[in-house]
Amino acid sequence: MRQYLNWKTYLIIVAMCIVGASLYYTNQLAAKLAFEERKNVEQLVEALKIQGSSEDLQALQLATAVIEQNKTIPLILTNDKDIIVDSKNLDTLSEKKDTNYVRNRLAEFKDLHKPIEFSYTGVKQKVYYGQSYLLIQLRYYPYVQLTIIILFLLIVLFALTTANRSLQNQVWAGLSKETAHQLGTPLSSIEAWLEILKDSDINAEAVAEMQKDLDRLKLVADRFSKVGSAPQLDEQDLVPRMQNMVEYMQKRSPNKVNISLKTTTDEIPVNISGPLFDWVVENLVRNALDALNGQGSITVSLQDNGQQVIVDVTDTGKGIPKQNLKKIFAPGFTTKKRGWGLGLTLSKRIIEQFHHGSLFVKHSELGKGTTFRIILRR
């Protein structure tokens, strides 16, 4: 449960409590107002009775005043057979345009309230009544308030999420630039010492391997410097790049692991930042190697669909649990004992922000493997 209890959840709970309290209070007010309107209609009916039976001038004047004071509650007067005799406080324009308007309102009033029956000069009559405009507004007010609160919450959540994402991007950019800067000085020193070793009578093969590792470190530093700022995208053929990546990773994989490349064509030109894209694929392949536990297969598949290029990295490893699928790209999330949980986060940033593509888990099944998909749009 703790993974679902964050500040967004608490914000929504508080908003729902406010809406619930408002609904309860408004319904109480609406019930009181409806009761008062019922009493007003009953008083009006008593006034009608007086008009039909009393001869006292003062009583008739008082009854007439009570009847005329009602200018808010819509009323329909019928006989005992529900034939309409008179109406009051209805929409006069609608009455003129629609001959069935009053009858339709009568059907509506029947569903709302029970009629008040009385005798007028010995004739049985009924008064049907609806809701005043104020009561209707009061009943709909909580729903308007709920809509406003939901819109407000959505705007706040969007603003906070955007601000948080912007802050994360600034952190990643700053961290990347600082890492590249810190690596620069020792790399320059190591390169100088390596040149001295080349001029000395030392094992040439060992020096050559050291040069490869130095070049690799320089490539890593270059990658970090490019993550800190928008890189230049150039058109490159993806097939030989992926072939080199597969061969590089195969040499550094256990003997029982096979890494292969599948492609639908021999040439796939696409605009990419070579070092950064290689880094993404390397991250995906390394994660696949961790999931294999020393044996299995990894397949890098390339597809050229004209408007987009698809790169799939599929392994036959242990798979990803469903509860982790939505969290694997979150900064700091990792299932490894060692690691900062930034590999997939940076990979997603590189593909989506720098290459304007997509990186996601296409499919994963426990015990059978996982497929990560990269989509590059031309």
Question: What are 96-117's pLDDT values in tens digits?
Answer: 777 788 888 899 899 888 888 8
> Are residues 105 and 52 both part of a single domain?
yes
> Are residues 176 and 286 both part of a single domain?
no
> Are residues 201 and 87 both part of a single domain?
no
Please report, for residues 51, 76, 89, 291, the alpha-carbon distance to residue 67 in angstroms, rounded to integers and kept in the order given: 10, 13, 12, 84
pLDDT band at 306 (very low <50, low <70, confident <90, very high): confident
Residue partners of 20: CB distance under 8 A and separation at least 6: none
- C-alpha torsion angle, residues 59, 60, 64, 67 (rounded to 10): 70
Mean pLDDT score across all residues of the chain: 83
| Residue pLDDT, tens place only, 217-227 | 887 777 677 66
| Residue pLDDT, tens place only, 35-57 | 888 888 888 888 888 777 767 67
> Are residues 201 and 250 both part of a single domain?
no
Q: What is the pLDDT of residue 296?
A: 94
> Are residues 32 and 126 both part of a single domain?
yes
> Are residues 236 and 372 both part of a single domain?
yes
> Are residues 350 and 236 both part of a single domain?
yes
Q: Are strands 116-120 and 234-237 parallel, antiparallel or unpaired?
A: unpaired
6, two tokens: 């964050």
| CA atoms of 289 and 305, how far apart (whole Å) | 28
Q: Is 321 within a domain?
A: yes
**pTM of the full predicted structure?**
0.53
pLDDT surpasses 80 at 314:
yes
299, two tokens: 């397949």
Q: What is the pLDDT of residue 292?
A: 92
Highest mean pLDDT among 79-83, 315-319, 341-345: 315-319
| CA atoms of 161 and 165, how far apart (whole Å) | 6
Q: Is 222 within a domain?
A: no
| CA atoms of 39 and 363, how far apart (whole Å) | 66
Q: Is 17 within a domain?
A: yes
> Are residues 71 and 119 both part of a single domain?
yes
Q: Are strands 269-272 and 257-263 parallel, antiparallel or unpaired?
A: unpaired
**Residue 261: domain span:** 231-377
Q: What is the pLDDT of residue 137?
A: 85
Q: Quick check: 224 and 176 in contact, CB under 8 A?
A: yes
Q: Is 292 within a domain?
A: yes
Long-range contacts of 211-217 (CB under 8 A, 24+ apart): 214/187, 214/190, 217/183, 217/187, 217/190
- C-alpha torsion angle, residues 342, 271, 249, 332 (rounded to 10): 10
- Domain boundary at 158, 185, 212, which? 212
- Domain boundary at 105, 131, 157, which? 131
Max Cα separation, the chain? 135
Q: What is the pLDDT of residue 54?
A: 67
3-state secondary structure of 18: helix
- Domain boundary at 82, 106, 131, which? 131
> Are residues 106 and 147 both part of a single domain?
no
Q: Any alpha helices (H) in 228-342, and if so which ranges?
A: 238-251, 274-292, 322-325
Q: Quick check: 134 and 141 in contact, CB under 8 A?
A: no
Residue 331's nearest CA partner among 323, 340, 318, 321 is: 340
Q: Are strands 358-365 and 257-263 parallel, antiparallel or unpaired?
A: unpaired
> Can you tell me the mean pLDDT for 230-258?
90
pLDDT surpasses 60 at 21:
yes
Q: Quick check: 70 and 37 in contact, CB under 8 A?
A: no
Q: Is 144 within a domain?
A: yes
| CA atoms of 98 and 103, how far apart (whole Å) | 10
Q: What is the pLDDT of residue 338?
A: 62
> Are residues 205 and 241 both part of a single domain?
no
258, two tokens: 């096979």
Q: Is 258 within a domain?
A: yes
Q: What is the pLDDT of residue 4?
A: 47
| CA atoms of 139 and 180, how far apart (whole Å) | 63
Q: Is 224 within a domain?
A: no
- Number of domain units in the chain: 3
> Are residues 320 and 372 both part of a single domain?
yes
Q: Any alpha helices (H) in the chain, and if so which ranges?
A: 7-53, 57-69, 92-97, 101-112, 133-199, 204-227, 238-251, 274-292, 322-325, 343-349
Q: Quick check: 48 and 120 in contact, CB under 8 A?
A: yes
Q: Is 110 within a domain?
A: yes
> Are residues 237 and 207 both part of a single domain?
no
Q: What is the pLDDT of residue 339?
A: 59
Q: What is the pLDDT of residue 313?
A: 96
> Can you tell me the mean pLDDT for 317-332?
85
CATH of the domain at 295: 3.30.565.10
Cα 311–chain centre separation: 26
DSSP state of 297: E
Lowest pLDDT segment from 29-38, 80-89, 178-187, 280-289: 178-187
